[in-house]
Amino acid sequence: MPEFAVLVEGYRRFKSDAYVRQKARYDELANDGQAPPIMIISCCDSRVDPATVFDTKPGQVFALRNVASLVPPYEIGGGLHGVSAAIEFGVMGLEVRHIVVLGHAQCGGIKASLEGANIGHGGHSFIDGWVDIIRPAREKILASASDDPQHDLELDAIRVSLKNLRTFPFIEEREQSGQLKLHGAYFGIADGILHVLNDQTDQFEAQ
C-alpha cells in the first residue's frame, strides 16, 4: 500500500532528524511522564492539525480530535463517552490549565449538520447523530437567512462546545477558581489566519 509506505518514510525522516534534535525532551517525557498545560479539542480534518497550526513541541499539548471539534453536554447516561472521558482525563488527571476549542473553515462536519451526511450504513448515520449537538444553533442560523450559514455555524459550533464544556461540574469549579481557562479559536485553511474568541465581545478576532 503506497500511502502507508509514505507514512513509514516520514517516520524515518522524523527518527533521523527531529527525534535526534529533541532527544533530551523525549527522554524527559519518557522518564517523567506528560504534564501538558494545554488541551486542544479540534476537528479530525486532515488539513487542520493543531500541532502544525500552533507549532507545538512534544508534550506541550493534550489533543482531542473529533468531527467538527464538538463537545457534548455533561451527562452520565448509557453509551460510550469518549470525548467526555478525554476531557475528564485532561482536566482531572493531567490538570491542564487551558482548554482550546479549535474550529476551522470548510468543515465537513458543519456541512453535514446543514445538509445531512447521508453516508451511514443500514439507514443509520453516526455523523448525523453526532452533529445533532449543534442542531439548535443550526436552526437559529437557517432561520436568520444568513448569507454564509456554513461560516456562521462553524463559529457558533465553537461557542456551543465552550458552553457545553461549562456543564461539566469539574470544569465549572476550576474555571470559577481560576485554575482553568477556556478559549475558542478558528483557523482559516485558505488564508492561514487564526481568529481567537474575545470573551468580552463574543467576537472572533484575527491574530
Render pLDDT for 102-113 as a digit per residue (tens, 0 to 9): 999 999 999 999
Angle subtended at Cα 146 by Cα 144 and Cα 151, rounded to the nearest 5 degrees: 125
Predicted confidence (pLDDT) at residue 123 exceeds the cutoff of 80: no
Report the chain's mean pLDDT, rounded to a whole number.
96
pTM of the model: 0.95
For residue 30, give the amino acid letter: A
Predicted confidence (pLDDT) at residue 122 exceeds the cutoff of 80: no
The CATH number given to whatever domain includes residue 48 is 3.40.1050.10
Residues 6+ apart with CB under 8 A from 165: 71, 87, 99, 101, 171, 182
Render pLDDT for 57-116 as a digit per residue (tens, 0 to 9): 999 999 999 999 999 999 998 888 999 999 999 999 999 999 999 999 999 999 999 998
Q: Under a CB-based contact definition with an 8 Å cutoff, are residues 54 and 146 in contact?
A: no
Q: Pairing relation of β-strands 194-198 and 203-206?
A: antiparallel
The single residue listed with the C-alpha cell 449537538 is 133
- Collapsing DSSP to helix, strand or coil, 66 comes out as strand
Predicted confidence (pLDDT) at residue 39 exceeds the cutoff of 90: yes
Are residues 23 and 38 both part of a single domain?
A: no
Are residues 109 and 13 both part of a single domain?
A: no
| Domain coverage including residue 4 | 1-33
